[in-house]
Amino acid sequence: MKKIFFYSLILILLVSGFAPAHAQEKYTYTLLEPLPCIEGTGNNCEKGKVIDKISLDDYIGYVFKFALALAVFLATIVIIWGGFEYMFSEAPFVKVNAKGRIKNAILGLIGALVSFLILQTIDPRLVQINTSIPKINIQISKETESFQAQLSKDLTRLTQEKKYEIYESTIAISDLQKTKKDLDTRFARDEIDEEEYNVSVGNINNEIKKIKASQYNLIASENGLYGFNKAYSILNNPDPDNLEKGTLEQYTAKPVPNTLANRKYPVNSPNIIQNQYNIEINKLLADTGNGEMAQTLGRQRDFYIELIQDEVELTDKIKTHGKYISTGGQGIGITVNNKQYFETKLEEYETNLTDSQAYIDAGVSKEMYDNVIKARINIINQTLNPPKKE
C-alpha cells in the first residue's frame, strides 16, 4: 500500500509538466462542488472562502499542490504512528515494523520533495502547470501572396470577360429575333416570297442556335471560373474563422456519376460546379443538340472539379510544411512525404505547361490554364525554397 501511494505521488509529480493541450485562452469552468481555498495553490482566493469557478490550469495546479501537502501530512502521521509503536511496545517484531514504517514514510517524503526539486532544478517549466500551447502563425511570404493575388485577379478578369461576352451574345440573339419578326411581317404583307422567307428564317434560326450554343458554353465557363476563384479565395484566406467554410464544401463535395437519364445529366449533386455545368449542358442538348460542345463542357466541368480538389490538397500540404518550418521541424511530423509530393507535383505541372494539348483536353482557354499552372509552379517553388530572412 505504501509503495502504491509512493509511486502514485511520484507519477503525479512527473506528469505535471505534461498536462493535456488546451486552447491558448484560459476558459473558466463552474465546479459541481466548490473547493476550499488553500493558500499557495495559485488561485488568488481569499482565506475562509471557497472556489466555485476555476480554469483548467489552476485546477491541475490546485490538485498538484494539494497532493504535495497531503503527502507531507500523511508522512508526518505515519512517522508519529511509528514512533508511538516503537516507544510503547516491548515486542521486538512490533519495534522492527515501527522502524520500517518510519523509514518508509521518511523515504516517501524525501522522494516526493526531491523529485520536485530535481524537476525544478532541471527546468522550472517542468513544474509549472500550463495546458496552453502558443498559436502557430504560418508566415506566407510576400512572393507567395503576390502569386495568389495575381491569379485571383486574372480569374476575376476572365470571369468579367465571360460575363461581357454573354451580354453581347444576348444582344445578338435579340437582334436576330427582331430580324425574324420583321421577316414575318414582310412575308405576311407579301413583300417577300415563301422561298426567300424560308431561306432567311432558316439562316436566322441556325445563327440563333449557334449563338445559344456559344452562350451556354460561356455561362458554364463563367460559372466554372467563378467557382474556382471563390474556392481559391476561401482556401487562401488566412482567417481560421472564415465564415465561408460552408460555401467551400459546396465546391469540394464529391460529384455524383454523370449518367444520362432521358438525355439529361444529374443536377442534384452536392457539388455546385457539377450542377451548374450540367444545367447548361442539358439546355445545350435540348435547344441545339450540339453533342460536340456538350462533350467539351463535360471535360471543362471535370477539369474545374478536379482543379479545386487538387487546390485543397496542395493548400493543406503547404500549410503543413509551413507549420513544420515555423516550429524548426519540431512536433509537426515528418515533412519528407510533403517534399516528395511537391517535387512530383512540380514535375507534373511543368510537363502540363509545355503540353500544347493539355488545355484543349481540359476544355478551357490556354490563358486560363497557363495562369493556374504557372501560379502553382511559383507557389511550390516558393514553398520548397523560402526566402532567407535578413
pLDDT in tens, 110-137: 887 787 788 778 766 666 655 555 554 4
SS3 226: helix
Residue identified by cell 517535387 is 343
List all residues 6 or more positions away from 200 whose beta carbon is below 8 Å from its beta carbon: 183, 192
Could you tell me which residues are beta bridge partners of residue 29? 54
pLDDT band for position 252 (cuts 50, 70, 90): confident
Q: Nearest Cα to 307, choosing from 383, 387, 224, 377?
A: 224
Instruction: Read off the pLDDT of each residue in 189-217 and give the average, rounded to a whole number.
Output: 86
Answer whether 170's CB lies under 8 Å from 162's CB: no
pLDDT of res. 239: 55
How far apart are the C-alpha atoms of 50 and 36, rounded to whole Å? Answer: 5
Answer whether 363's CB lies under 8 Å from 303's CB: yes
- Give the CA distances from residue 215 to residues 6, 20, 176, 177, 202, in Å, rounded to whole numbers and listed in that order: 81, 58, 14, 15, 20
- Render pLDDT for 325-336 as a digit per residue (tens, 0 to 9): 555 554 444 455
pLDDT of res. 136: 44
pLDDT of res. 38: 67
How far apart are the C-alpha atoms of 258 and 279, rounded to whole Å? Answer: 12
Q: Which residue has the higher pLDDT, 263 or 141?
A: 263
Instruction: Read off the pLDDT of each residue in 71-77 and give the average, rounded to a whole number.
Output: 85
Domain ranges of the chain: 2-127, 144-152+206-384
Highest mean pLDDT among 110-114, 175-179, 240-244: 175-179
Residue 33 φ/ψ, nearest 5 degrees: -125, 130
Prediction pTM value:
0.52
pLDDT of res. 37: 74
pLDDT of res. 3: 54
pLDDT of res. 23: 40
Q: Which residue has the higher pLDDT, 261 or 127?
A: 261
pLDDT of res. 142: 47
- Give the CA distances from residue 193 to residues 171, 197, 343, in Å, rounded to whole numbers and listed in that order: 28, 6, 70
C-alpha cell at 91: 515486542
